[in-house]
Amino acid sequence: MTADEPISSVPVAPAGLSNRARYFVETSGVRISRRDLRRHREAWIGHGIPASEVDQAIAFQERWGGLALPPAPFYEGGPHSLQAACPRGSAEEGWSFSAGSCRVSMAYGFRIGPDGAFGLDANRWTPLHADIDGWVESLALAAHAARWATTITKVKGKAVDSLDLRGYEQVTEVRGVTDTWWRGKDSLVALYRGAAVGLDAPQCLEAHIYGGLDDWGLYGG
């Protein structure tokens, strides 16, 4: 494949995702053209970027590059499409690379951090999920929950810290770090803390509560 060569618009979900996320990627996602980063490998290494960091960006691009997914319910929809770019950083601070461009003008961007986490490049690096797979899992879960919930309640700011999650279990497939999902007896709760942490803006804290879910709504998809 040459740089920016169009590929099939029908995506095939990468291995390792849940059934829910695979269905979401393959029925709601679209593949667009993607840059071939392999042609830049030697030049980037020649500019002092470690080969291991370059290869991580290339691996991301080959797994996810060019995938456009429906907007996320927070972070102004998330990346327009998943696309890696030239890594930046240093041995001291670690290396990271862009995960894709924003849909709208915002005070932060989306990056893959030194430890492989997907997160926000804001006032400070803020990992949202342990990896990009977790981000995609969270999008799939949000779409699934919104479809089957009888109520969707949004809680903002300080009120989020008052939510009682006793008896809830953390949803592990989203690989939550700063952002997490919680499953109760008839509801799912998404906690979006990334913008509040990354921008030092507690007013940006937000939770989405999907209520009235049966077993399919809680676990299926």
Q: Say yes or no: 112 and 155 in one domain.
A: no
Tens digit of pLDDT for each residue in 59-100? 999 999 999 999 999 999 999 999 999 999 999 999 999 999
Q: Say yes or no: 142 and 128 in one domain.
A: no
Q: Say yes or no: 27 and 119 in one domain.
A: yes
Rounded Cα–Cα distance for residues 41 and 207 (Å): 41
Per-residue pLDDT, 1: 42
Q: Say yes or no: 156 and 90 in one domain.
A: no
Work out the pLDDT band at 2, boundaries 50, 70, 90.
very low
Structural domain for 47, as ranges = 19-133
Work out the pLDDT band at 148, boundaries 50, 70, 90.
very high
Work out the pLDDT band at 33, boundaries 50, 70, 90.
confident
Per-residue pLDDT, 212: 98
Work out the pLDDT band at 6, boundaries 50, 70, 90.
low
Work out the pLDDT band at 34, boundaries 50, 70, 90.
confident
Rounded Cα–Cα distance for residues 128 and 196 (Å): 12
Rounded Cα–Cα distance for residues 28 and 7 (Å): 17
Q: Say yes or no: 23 and 123 in one domain.
A: yes
Q: Say yes or no: 149 and 70 in one domain.
A: no
Position of tokens 């940006």?
204
Work out the pLDDT band at 221, boundaries 50, 70, 90.
confident
Which of 102, 133, 164 marks a domain boundary? Answer: 133
Q: Say yes or no: 215 and 125 in one domain.
A: no
Please check whether residue 63 lies inside any domain of the structure: yes
Q: Say yes or no: 82 and 112 in one domain.
A: yes
Q: Say yes or no: 128 and 201 in one domain.
A: no
Q: Say yes or no: 152 and 191 in one domain.
A: yes
State the pTM of this model.
0.94
Q: Say yes or no: 123 and 24 in one domain.
A: yes
- The first and second tokens of residue 44, run together, are 């980037």
**If DSSP codes are grouped into helix, strand and coil, which group holds residue 53?**
helix
